Chains A and B, each alone.
Chain A
Amino acid sequence: MAEDLIDVDESMPTNTVEEYLRMDRMPHIWCPGCGIGTTVNCFAHALEQSNLDLQKVAIVSGIGCTGRVAGYINLDSFHTTHGRAIPFATGLKLANPELKVVVYSGDGDLTAIGGNHFIHAARRNVDMTVILINNFIYGMTGGQVAPTTPLTATASTTPHGNFEDSFNLPYLAESCGAVYVARWTAYHVRHTTKAIKEALAKKGFSFVEILAPCPTLFSRRNKLGDGLDQMKYFKEHSEIKNDIDTKTASLSFQGKITVGKFVDKERPTYLDAMNEYYGKKFGDKFKPYNG
């Protein structure tokens, strides 16, 4: 029994993020050394610092290791189908605009099968925060190549090395119209927390990419050590470059990692644009849509 093994020291401070988590679902399913849990901690701290009404925050994820995040967060949470978190979130947000809607999913989920939804939600500027955990691989299905797998890295479906160029996700998000774009790693917990907090405060399609180690299926196969080795790598090879041209933010296998806040701008959201347009078109007959 776990209780027998853990000597609880009542004088220890309580974990301040517990209220943001479904503690009745612990332990979680992520592997030792995985970076997803670290990002969840950042997300919880960002929620804590955001002073949002937690009854009005909803989290949506797709399928995969990161797709399981929704199930551990103590908010209205939706674990949907593979790649489709963003269109689900679009419906949720447009049905009830008073909700703050967060999509939290992996690189394979959001940019392979879900790539089309990602670009269109950014284009429409649907008001949502998308947190993408990039571990360069399909984790839950066993380490297959992803659209983010760097050139030459191996995966179970590219056992001789990957020959497809990978996405530069900040560039993709910006070019489609995202109003906030940042990239950090699971090593940068304070920067990540701040970025999520800023993204949550942003009106419109905000995007935070967080690089995270997948020791079980990416690092091990590519002989990169364990989770700690990957965190050291993130620490030593990251260069903070805010406000750069996202075109220059591409990632390579074991090369430098450009991190920072790249985009922070204003643009009418889907709903604001609709309300403004119809307001002009229909005059007094139109009542602004607010769900």
Chain B
Amino acid sequence: MRTVRLFGTAFSLALRGALAYRTNLFFDALLALVQLAASIATIGIVFTRTGLLAGWSAGQMLVLVGTYSLITGLRATFLDPSLADFSEQIRDGRLDAYLLRPANSVLLATTTRHAPVAVVQCILGVGVIISGLRELETIPSPAALAAWFLLTCAGLLIGWATSVGLASLAFWAPRLNLGVLHGAAWEFGRYPIDIYGRCIRQLLTFAFPVAVVTTWPARILVHGPDLGTLLMAVLLAAGFTAGTLLLWRLGLRRYTGATS
């Protein structure tokens, strides 16, 4: 409960900061709109040449793009601001400030700086999901919605775990910054994993599971819940989170702080 209150306070502070610069706010929202429009336009172009893309129809692809936009927006809102200079914080000792506070250090260091404007991307994503479902003339069952919500949370958790896991490598190699590579791999979630070859598909399911982030939630929302998929997603999210927490603890043992 205390952690939730902490997040609420951090978000409220960030929101007040963002609202003070209205022009920036408008421009960032406009950019989110343009980027999402470009994604949808790309799909539209592909579907002028084919009826199905690796078995996915245009409506299904819209649901997938919307889910991708929603989760990417959540990441951009709650995770990316904290992780942007994470390795620098380890390098120059600013991490000390989080370690000395009476709360969970990994959560403090990786999720307490927020970019509220990115929520626009989430809202647009939900709009695209709804328009995709309308095109498919499908109303998801409550079970499908619940499963989609669970998978979205699992996807977000995996997004957090993989980002923090890669950033934590800075404990061993302070100049290593794999944020761009993570962003590039995340881009592969923009499309269903069925378009990739077998090896890449396996990688995107088990090694860097963007399948959990977009393909699986979109599929479940359209076709209904599948227990095996849900179980696998929960296991992957739990496994990646546990791995990241372990990496964090091992990293902290090496960390010498600003005054050492």
Q: Do A and B bind each other?
A: no
Q: Which A residues contact B (CB, under 8 angstroms)?
A: none
Q: Which B residues contact A (CB, under 8 angstroms)?
A: none
